[in-house]
Structures are given as structure tokens and as C-alpha cells.
Structure 1
Amino acid sequence: MAKVTDKQQRFVEEYLKDLNASQAALRAGYSEKSAGHLGAQLLAKPHIAELIAQGKAKRSEKTAIDAAYVLNRLVEIDQMDVADILNDDGSVKAVRDWPRAWRTYVSGMDLSELWEGSGDERQMVGLLKKIKWPDKVKNLELLGKHVDVQAWKEQRELSGGLAISHEDALEALE
């Protein structure tokens, strides 16, 4: 592997923080005027790309988050059923009784007390509970884009059994 300068090593470390080459170059000490251009050049260097790949692999290993983890989480969101958090009378179960998927994926909860009357006559007559769950359509879109699903990739079969994607055909015409 080619020798890496201190500044290049710093670039790799900074790039792994947010995957923004221009900002990483700035934080690594390259000039503001050339950071965008140099960031792209550094990413193109094989030895820098290898260090970045190693850094990403270490991070994935450390966090135990990889493509399979993300895909499994998306499947959990897809399988969430509102009936899992409701009692038979339609009231919301206590949060401690919710399935783990609901407890970890709910995007937000709003509780509002409902009151009637005024002054000393004021009484709480109810509690409005709003539960926001993940966007199921966006979730399905992400699942559909997974390389093994390829739900959104059109393919055309040509004579001889050769399959070609719509994207590949357009690229070949350019």
C-alpha cells in the first residue's frame, strides 16, 4: 500500500464521521478553496479508498450494524400491526405491554388532556392519545430497493434468454 501522509490519514478519519469529502478535507487541514476538489481526488486514490473501506468495516463490526441488520429492521417495521397495541375496546394498551417493535419504532407520541367547564367546575373528561408510527410506504420503498428484492427494477427479456434492466439499456444508448 502507498504511504499515507498524516493529512491523508486525518482525511480518512474525518471522512468516516459523515462521509462528506469536502468537509473532511477542510477538517483535515486542506484549504477551503481546494477542499471540494481535493476531497474528490483523495477518494479516488486506491490506498485512501482501502483505508476508508477498512474503517467502515471496523465500524460495522463494532456496532454490529450491516445490511442484514437494516433489512431485518425494515421487515419488522413492515410487520407492525396497530392491533398489537390496542385493547379489544379500542383503547391503547399500556406502553409496557406493547411488542418491542412498537416500542422501538414509534416516531412520536402526543398526549392531550381534554377538559370541560371552567374555574372550580373544570373537570378532565378525557385523554387524547396520538401515536405516530414509521412511514410504511417509505419503508416498503426501502425494502423494494434492496438488491435481492429489486422490486423497482424493470427487466426486459430479449431473444436468447438474456435479461437486461431498463437502466442498463439506457446507459448503453448513451
Structure 2
Amino acid sequence: MPRSAKPSKRLTEKQRRFVEEYLVDLNATQAAIRAGYSEKTAYSVGFENLRKPEIAKAIEQAQARLARRTDITQERVLQELARIGFSDMADFLSWGPKGVELTASDGLTPDQSACVSEVSETVTQFGGSRRIKLHSKTRALELLGRHLGLYPAQRHEVSGPDGGDIPVETRNAVLERLLMEIAGEGRADGLPNLTQEKIGE
């Protein structure tokens, strides 16, 4: 008889909480802290949890369920980014010698309205001002470009003092620094004086 498939490892209560918290902001370190892990080890625990097959699978399944409930698809996200990335301020206001005039909201298409981040008006005894702010075109175009592979990949080259080999005892610290930078958490303090270069491939 064929062997039955090995049952998947069940998550502990703390691991289940980590999965729930990770879905909030996709920050593994903060998710670990909110799930009850020590703040001192939260960074490494979060990183390790994401690499565990059973936790990665639980996160993937939860994200799929969330996408189905909210009808969020890759196509919809890209369409929304394209709306913002290719928006034109001239659709929202006109300007000339007589001043600046905003376009009425009922004169905007649904695609144009989706680009508006903020509209405000200030009225004082001396007059007033009106302000319209769109979502960031630069950020939207950057995300679209990354999805389409328009930016060359980068690799990190790290060397020890004076270009020599990295001492064994410092390698883990270097790896942690690179992971923090990739995760957008900034540089770690107190690390050895190493040389790091980014080289486009």
C-alpha cells in the first residue's frame, strides 16, 4: 500500500497569532512582538518564522482567503496603480493670469476621482485658499515598474576591513544588517566597519 502523506505540522498558539499579526502590516518583527515574542529576539524570530514551511503556508492561505473576500486581484491592484501613475494635474485644475480654478468633482471621471488624496478649503476674513492633493505618481510608477521588471536587479558585495575577508564572527551581523536594509528597517548600529557596494546586474 502506498504510504499516506505526512501530516503537516500544526502551528502553536503563538505561531497562529504571529500569522494573524503579520497580515496586519506585513512586518515580521512587529508581528512577533504583538504575538508575544520577546522584543530582544523579535527580529530573528520573525525572520525564522517566515522561513518555516508551515507558517509560510498558513500566511499564503490566509492572504488567499482575504483576497477572495475583498475581490482583490493582481489585475485590480495594477489598474489602480496605473490610474495614479498616469494621472494629469491638468484634469483637476486650470491655471492662468486670472488665477487657479479647481475642476468640480462631478466633472471628474471615476478614474480621475480615484487619484485624489485630499481636498481642503480654508476661509478667513482676508480671503481663503483651496488645495487639492493627488496620490503619489512617483510611488505608483515605481511599483508598476518593479512589477514589470523595468529596474535592474542589484546584488550586495560585502568585504572586511581594507577589502579583506569578513571575519567569521561578524558574518551574522553583516547578514542581519543587509536583511534590515532590504526590509526597510534602516541600518543596525554598532556593527563592524565593513565596506558594502551595490552593483547593478
Tell me, yes or no, if the aligned pair for 1:84 and 1:99 is still in contact at 8 Å: no
| Match of residue 41 from structure 2 | 34
Distance 2:51 2:86 in 1: 41
| Match of residue 26 from structure 2 | 19
Question: What's the CA shift for 1:71?
Answer: 0.9
TM-score normalised by L of structure 2: 0.59
> Which segment is superposed worse, 26-35 or 40-49?
26-35
Q: Which of 40, 50, 74 does residue 43 from structure 1 map onto? A: 50
Question: What's the CA shift for 1:54?
Answer: 0.7
Q: Which of 74, 87, 92 does residue 81 from structure 2 map onto? A: 74
* CA shift digits 1:88-145 (9 cap, x unpaired): x9743321222122322212223244766xxxxxxx6xx6433222333333222222
> Where do residues 1-174 of structure 1 align in structure 2 (5 Å cutoff)?
1-86=8-93, 91-113=101-123, 128-146=129-147, 149-153=148-152, 167=154
* CA shift digits 1:71-95 (9 cap, x unpaired): 10121123433444458x9743321
Question: What's the CA shift for 1:60?
Answer: 1.6
State the number of aligned residues: 147
* CA shift digits 1:7-55 (9 cap, x unpaired): 2212211222222222222222223333332222222211111111111
| Match of residue 185 from structure 2 | none
Give the aligned residue type for 1:93.
T
Distance 2:59 2:107 in 1: 43
- Mark the structure with the bigger radius of gyration: 1
Give the aligned residue type for 2:107.
D
Q: Hey, which of these two has a bigger chunk of helix by percent? A: 1
Distance 2:138 2:30 in 1: 33
Q: Structure 1 residues 95, 41: closer, same or farther in 2, change over 3 A?
A: same
Q: Hey, which of these two has a bigger chunk of strand by percent? A: 2
**What's the C-alpha RMSD, in Å, of the aligned pairs?**
3.0
Distance 1:10 1:3 in 2: 13
Give the aligned residue type for 1:102.
Q
Give the aligned residue type for 1:106.
V
Give the aligned residue type for 1:42.
N
Q: Which runs of 5+ in 1 are unaligned?
A: 117-123, 154-165
TM-score normalised by L of structure 1: 0.67
Structure 1: which 4+ aligned runs deviate by more than 4 Å? 113-116
Tell me, yes or no, if the aligned pair for 1:11 and 1:27 is still in contact at 8 Å: yes
* Percentage identity across paired residues of the two chains: 38
SS at match of 1:2: coil
